[in-house]
Amino acid sequence: MWKLVGAVLVAAGSGWLGLSAASGLTSRLRAVQAMIAGLELLERELWEHGTALPELLAALARRCPPPAAGFFQRCAQGCGQLDRVPFGESWRQAVAELELLSPEGQAALLPLGEVLGRYEADSQRQALEHARQALEREELRAQEERRRLGRVYQTLGLSGGAFLVILLL
């Protein structure tokens, strides 16, 4: 009886590991999509309404899905500490905390911290456009990875669990 219970638990645990790994790929894709949506809102608000950067970042924190909301919240807090920490440094720290983004996705966001609020509108617009395009390429890679590896992880988890059950019984 205990052998059977142990086998079922091993199978369930292995299956859960596979499904969890596949879920991580989906989370990464959603994080990239949230950042793209946030950058699009940032660009639109800056040029259509001319909103000041601190207020805009706080508004984006309320309007964007996670993890973009947390990112923009940290950047808004960084605007409140400009007397102690330069905005570029606050931006870099917030980008480093975006663990769901790949290093390429993080690298695409880094130059924005040096440009936003400091240079003329055309430079800011170019930097935002460049970052958004890089994140869109990252989104395509994440979609392909999720499609290709998601099923592999699920299958490996389930088949690995079945294999361990056979060995245990």
Quick check: 118 pLDDT over 80?
no
- Mean of the pLDDT values across residues 88-113? 93
Residue type for position 150: G
- CA 94, 105, 44, 33 dihedral sign is negative
Quick check: 22 pLDDT over 90?
no
d(CA 20, CA 168): 24
Residue 130: per-residue pLDDT: 95
Residue 155: per-residue pLDDT: 86
Look at 76 and 167; give whichever has higher pLDDT. 76
Residue 101: per-residue pLDDT: 93
Q: What does the mean pLDDT of the chain come to?
A: 89
Residue 35: per-residue pLDDT: 97
Residue 165: per-residue pLDDT: 77
- Mean of the pLDDT values across residues 113-119? 82
Asked which of 72-86, 97-111, 151-165 is least confident by mean pLDDT, the reply is: 151-165
Asked which of 57-66, 104-113, 148-157 is least confident by mean pLDDT, the reply is: 148-157
* Tens digit of each residue's pLDDT (9 = 90 or more) over 143-168: 999 999 988 888 888 888 888 778 77
Comparing C-alpha atoms, which of 131, 128, 139, 130 is closest to residue 31? 139
Comparing C-alpha atoms, which of 141, 136, 139, 116 is closest to residue 128? 116
- Cβ atoms of 158 and 14 closer than 8 Å: yes
Maximum CA pair distance of the chain?
Answer: 73
